């Protein structure tokens, strides 16, 4: 996994990724109340396990592992959170690779990750490792997206774009995804492939759900979620980070070959134009979109 890959994505908008009532439904469907020991793979700042702990049997035992040394150290703030919100739950942090988890086999009631496999060189190997360390009868739960689809989500600005411009945007997203894969930095749409991988690995009771979360933007942008999203977009734009990381885009295109790298200036110009158009519309309170997303929740149980 690329060290530090997640730093650009730990903006405040991440706290709005899920609808709580949807998580309540998933917790009932997957019987999270029966789980007392959880492993959060690629934990980052524990956004995912912080949400799940409230549905587990308390006090829970949370283990959090990340390849990035800054996240694998954890923090006193997170320890206090799990102790208070998890009714005395404890969290232990460790540095480790998702493709070679530093835990004994058959150790956890639930092993889970959120947007981790899309950054892993060999995500199938990571799924095999998650299967190894979960107990027989235990649950593996992965929340992973299809990120390319966002290039086809319309806004009031793009609704009248030409077919050629729309195809260009989709092609850009696909090229960046393929270049990322060739460099061994992951697959942005790995969520599409997970059910098949779970079947190949040997999971039982495989279930696939889609999050009901959308991120709509519409004037006057007064909700806390909308304000957080706009601040995140502004920070990415100002810092040339996140989706606005032009140097990373250049690397991905270079990995595809010279003919693709030659497209970089044209694609960057198109991206900057779209970004400027978006920022101007938001500033003048005339941007709107339904904000459709595709986030899969794929689960399976280890055969007893």
Contact between 139 and 303 under an 8 Å Cβ cutoff? The reply is no
Q: What is the pLDDT of residue 263?
A: 87
Average pLDDT over residues 171-183: 95
pTM, to two decimals: 0.93
Structure-block tokens of residue 93: 């942090």
pLDDT at 145: 96
Per-residue pLDDT band at 11 (split at 50, 70, 90): low
Tell me the pLDDT tens digit for each residue of 129-143.
999 999 999 999 999
Q: Where are the alpha helices (DSSP H) in the chain?
A: 20-30, 47-52, 69-72, 76-85, 123-133, 163-182, 194-201, 224-239, 246-256, 258-261, 264-283
Structure confidence by residue, pLDDT tens digits, 208-235: 999 999 999 999 999 999 999 998 888 8
Which of 223, 224, 297 is closest to 51 using CA atoms? 297
Could you give the count of Cα atoms lying within 13 Å of 236 in the half-sphere of its Cβ? 22
Q: How confident is the model at residue 246 (pLDDT cuts 50, 70, 90)?
A: confident
Q: By C-alpha distance, which of 110, 109, 59, 52 is closest to 86?
A: 59
Task: Give residue-wise pLDDT tens across range 75-112.
Answer: 999 999 999 987 899 999 999 999 999 999 999 999 99
Residues 6+ apart with CB under 8 A from 95: 65, 66, 67, 68, 69, 72
Reduced to 3 states (helix: H, G, I; strand: E, B; else coil), residue 253 is helix
**By the 8 A CB rule, do 145 and 117 touch?**
no
Phi, psi of 4 (to 5 degrees): 80, 5
Tokens of 247: 């140097």
Report d(CA 105, CA 98) in Å as an integer.
14
In the prediction, which pLDDT does 297 show?
98
Query: What pLDDT does residue 6 have?
Result: 52
pLDDT band at 181 (very low <50, low <70, confident <90, very high): very high
Give residue 8's pLDDT: 53
**pLDDT at residue 10, as a whole number:** 52
Q: pLDDT tens digits, residue range 63-85?
A: 999 999 999 999 999 999 999 98
Q: Calculate Rg over the CA atoms of the chain.
A: 20
237 vs 125 pLDDT, higher one: 125
Handedness of CA 227, 154, 185, 52 (dihedral sign): positive
* pLDDT, averaged across the chain: 92
Percent of the chain scoring above 70 in pLDDT: 95
Nearest C-alpha neighbor of 204 from the set 143, 137, 141 = 137
pLDDT per position as a tens digit, 250-295: 999 999 999 999 888 888 888 888 889 999 999 999 999 999 999 9
pLDDT level of residue 9 (50, 70, 90 thresholds):
low
pLDDT bucket at 4, cuts 50 / 70 / 90: very low
Per-residue pLDDT at 2: 43
Give the pLDDT score at 243: 75
Structure tokens at 98: 């998702």
Which class would CATH give 7-146+189-214+293-301? alpha beta
Give residue 129's pLDDT. Answer: 98
Domain with CATH 3.40.50.150 in the chain: 7-146+189-214+293-301
pLDDT above 70 for 32: yes
């Amino acid at each position: 996994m690329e060290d530090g890959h997640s730093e650009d994505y730990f903006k405040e908008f991440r706290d709005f990724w899920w609808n709580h009532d949807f998580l309540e439904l998933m917790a009932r469907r997957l019987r999270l109340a029966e789980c007392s020991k959880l492993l959060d793979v690629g934990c980052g700042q524990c956004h995912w396990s912080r949400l799940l702990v409230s549905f587990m049997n308390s006090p829970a035992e949370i283990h959090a592992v990340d390849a990035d040394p800054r996240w694998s150290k954890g923090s006193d703030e997170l320890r206090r959170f799990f102790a208070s919100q998890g009714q005395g739950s404890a969290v232990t942090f460790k540095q480790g690779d998702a493709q070679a988890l530093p835990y004994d086999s058959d150790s956890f009631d639930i092993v889970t990750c959120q947007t981790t496999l899309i950054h892993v060189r060999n995500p199938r190997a990571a799924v095999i490792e998650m299967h190894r360390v979960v107990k027989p009868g235990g649950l593996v739960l992965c929340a992973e997206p299809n990120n390319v689809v966002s290039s086809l989500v319309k806004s009031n600005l793009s609704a009248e774009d030409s077919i050629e411009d729309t195809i260009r945007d989709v092609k850009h997203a696909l090229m960046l995804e393929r270049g990322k894969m060739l460099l061994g930095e992951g697959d942005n749409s790995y969520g599409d492939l997970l059910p098949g991988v779970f079947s190949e690995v040997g999971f039982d009771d495989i279930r696939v759900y889609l999050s009901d979360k959308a991120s709509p933007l519409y004037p006057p942008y007064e909700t806390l979620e909308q304000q957080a999203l706009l601040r995140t977009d502004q920070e990415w734009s100002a810092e040339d980070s996140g989706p606005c990381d032009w140097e990373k885009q250049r690397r991905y295109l270079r990995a595809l070959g010279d003919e693709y790298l030659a497209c970089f200036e044209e694609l960057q110009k198109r991206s900057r134009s779209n970004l400027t158009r978006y920022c101007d519309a938001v500033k003048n309170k005339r941007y709107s979109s339904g904000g459709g997303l595709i986030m899969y929740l794929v689960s399976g149980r280890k055969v007893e």
